[in-house]
Amino acid sequence: MANDNPTSSDQVIPAAGNPAPYLQNRELSWLDFNERVLEQGADESVPLLQRLNFISIFWSNLQEFFMVRVGSLTDLSLVKKHIVDSKSNMTPSEQLRAIYLRCHELYPAYERTFEQVRLLLNKVGVTHVRPDELTDEQRSYLAEYAEANVTPFLSPQIINARHPFPHLENGALYIVVRLDEEADKAQDQAKSEHKKKDKKGKKSKGKPAKESTKNASLSQNVGAEGTMLGLIPLPRQCARVVKLPGDGFSFILLEHVVEMVAEQVFSMYTVKHTNVICVTRNADIDATESTDENDEDYREHMKRILKKRARLAPVRLESERELSDTLEPLLLDRLNLKKHQVFTTSVPLDLSFTWGLASHLSEKQCAALMYPPFTPQWPACLDRKRPIMEQVTAGGDVLLSYPYESMDPFVQLLREASRDPRVISIKITLYRLASQSHLAEALIDAAENGKEVTALFELRARFDESNNIEWSQRFEQAGCNVIYGFRDYKVHSKICCITRQTDDGIQHITQLGTGNYNEKTAKLYTDLSLITTSPTIGRDATEFFRNMALENVSDNYDVLWVAPLQVKPLILKNIDHQIELARRGEPCGLFFKTNSVTDKEIIDKIAEASQAGVKTVMLVRGISCLVPGVEGYTENVRVVSIVGRMLEHSRIYGFGPRTNMKIYLASADLMTRNMDKRVEIAWPVLDEKLRDRILSYIDVSLSDTAKLRELLPNRRYTPLGFFAQVSPEGKTIRFDSQVHFMDEARLKARMSTEVEVEREVEKREAAAVATNVAPSAGTATPATSEAATVPPEAMSATNSAAPADAASGSPSADATGTSEPALEPDAIEPAEEVTTTAILPHIEQPPHKPSLLVRALAAAIRFSNRRK
């Protein structure tokens, strides 16, 4: 690899060829996304502990990026044939150089952000103590603590000619101990002298017992020859966060406690210095590699693959402090790494501990340092006192919006189906399940109750393989029909079909979702879930599961789009139709909400549409290989992103102007892997009310002025709060769309509860009149209950935001009128070079009565798509 230690972006040499100016490299775009996550950690409007969690998300995201994307590129760089990235024309080696360079730019910002938050937390009594900050009392406490709770679990190792360099586990922390060579020589000499004395001692009789004991002790503490290095793996049995005595909550991390006792552990040597290191290994492994499905159970094959992954080649080495001139080359040689693959940071090398800090704090402290708690609400469109199946089969389609509305109604539907004598079968695809899953338990109950339950498990869901293997075994033991999908395609669709025998014949209840059947992530990821009794969709669903059982890739569907044969071709066909409309001068437009857009064919088609005059808006949380606003190519395309408290995860495709836009929901991002290498589903929203609800959802999301940022032609994003409004009094007012949806869900739930109470009161009154009995004194009339009022938080002029989760789950912030963090001068182009049109210029909203929540908030918040 040429230039193993790049120091400036000028050294990233583009490959031969001229990539289109509206395309950018996928990996570099992803690193920009992760930088936006890190910037949430610097956002002063986010509560402090949530800021720390955002930094932890940045860390875990980057860890997975190195394991998967860098690992994959490393493998490709070793292939002799010429391979280039279709968007940037960069070879794998060129991409790797650019990635390592970009990461070396991100690490200092990562350090600064973490240290800033650490010091601010220290001021409010959540004190992360480093070894050089310990008081004498704390040192004394830790000495006793380590002796009782840490030292017994340590497994130290030495490295010399007789003890080769050990395998360092992926992502595990190690204390590396540099032993003094000169001291080693002195100890060799001491050892020799002890042997001589020993011989003399044997000859002389009547030697004092005291001296003999002393010599024995010395000989026991003489280490092995030629030892320069020691390693101590961080023990898994010990608590990572060690609470310290003193006021407030002070803690030190386990790795620093182990460092403090390293001299005792290696007492037979002279310890020169210690450090904490962590190796990241390639985890990108082909699950279909060397498998013969006729000879080996697929689950056993996947278990073997997981073991193999743990020993793949390293791609990154991290250390807490600079490695010495002796230690660095030794580690690089043993790990087969280059100098530019080493990253030094004072940030703890494993930030997973941050998610447990709240458990050490009081309720009052948590309230000050975390988002106000939010619980997904029961959807107002469903009566929780009536069977869900009865409501679904009697009414129209039901659309659930996670995490603002709860997944519980769908889980309840499965529970009811498991007991309903008319239910014949339940079929479902399972990509990621929670480790504790009520949904899975309902399916198992159904099988045990004699229902035919078919569960398609995708055992190759990355990093969820073990969990899926365990669940598939439980399903099989319960009598479910477990299938594993395709050899060459991951099944990423989210579809469930309940088949019932009714008086009118066979009925299908079909559920289609943009996200996984995971109750944990459903509280953190924004997703849409449709439950419908449409006979057409039901027939397509049964056909889908028939094809899955036969491992048949098919396009024989009436309304569903199923990848790999249909989704991309039909997206391209619908874009072509908008191009035709534009050329005829008729209303047209495109909208896409997706996690990432990387597919070159789709990007090229959107660029073609832009040149034809089709206005296109793309709400892309993560990677965008499409660069908008490039003169002559993508002037009519705008790309915006929301990184907030909730992880934006729903996929929405829109074709046409707002007045008659065709809306499709999907499980697929606009990525080549989703379009060509996975079984995905997209489906139309046929119910007009639900279509209007989704359009309203889009409108509110694009009205965000707190978290929404725009990708500019220079490939940079506008800073946080760029679209915020300034009141006549000079106060910055930010509108957080995710907070709005939480408030709206709460308000609708309260109003729904009030309606239910009123109905109950009316029933009682009617029954009392019928029996000539007056209502009891205890019967309340809810005329002025709090359910009828606007929630106090909704009436605040400053929207407060909410809680988050890992890797992928991201947090969000208040819209409090605070000033934005300082940015580098070149972080954004001058404002006058940015267009100031509305986010959705082609979607003209028709006159309509504002929603109840919008009216309630009108006194405090005014929506506006225009930039101040």
Q: Are strands 561-562 and 481-483 parallel, antiparallel or unpaired?
A: unpaired
Q: Write down how long the chain is.
A: 868
Q: Which two tokens stand for residue 690?
A: 């639900």
Residues 253 and 348: beta-carbon distance below 8 Å: yes
Given the residues 256, 301, 492, 740, the one annotated as active site: 492
Q: Give how far Cα 399 sits from Cα of 523, 536, 584, 728, Å.
A: 16, 18, 36, 40
Percent helix / strand / coil, the chain, rounded to 5: 40, 15, 40
Q: Which two tokens stand for residue 246?
A: 């003193």
Residues 370 and 355: beta-carbon distance below 8 Å: no
Find the Cα–Cα–Cα–Cα dihedral 244, 246, 250, 253, rounded to 10°.
-20
E strand segments, 669-823: 678-679, 681-684, 708-711, 725-726, 732-733
Query: How many whole angstroms from its chain centre is CA 362?
Result: 27
Task: Give catalytic status of residue 256 as yes or no.
Answer: no
Can you tell me the distance from the alpha carbon of 646 to that of 648, in angstroms, rounded to the nearest whole number? 6
Burial class (CB in 10 A: 0-12, 13-18, 19+), 814: buried
- If DSSP codes are grouped into helix, strand and coil, which group holds residue 232? strand
Can you tell me the distance from the alpha carbon of 354 to that of 57, in angstroms, rounded to the nearest whole number? 10
Select from 797, 817, 815 the least CA-distant residue to 859.
797
Angle at alpha carbon of residue 754, lines to 752 and 758, rounded to 5°: 120
Amino acid at site 614:
V
Select from 91, 98, 274, 43 the least CA-distant residue to 180.
274
Amino acid at site 403:
P
Angle at alpha carbon of residue 341, lines to 335 and 347, rounded to 5°: 105
Phi, psi of 647 (to 5 degrees): -85, 115
**Helices of type H across 336-407:** 363-369, 388-394
User: Which residues are tagged catalytic?
Assistant: 492
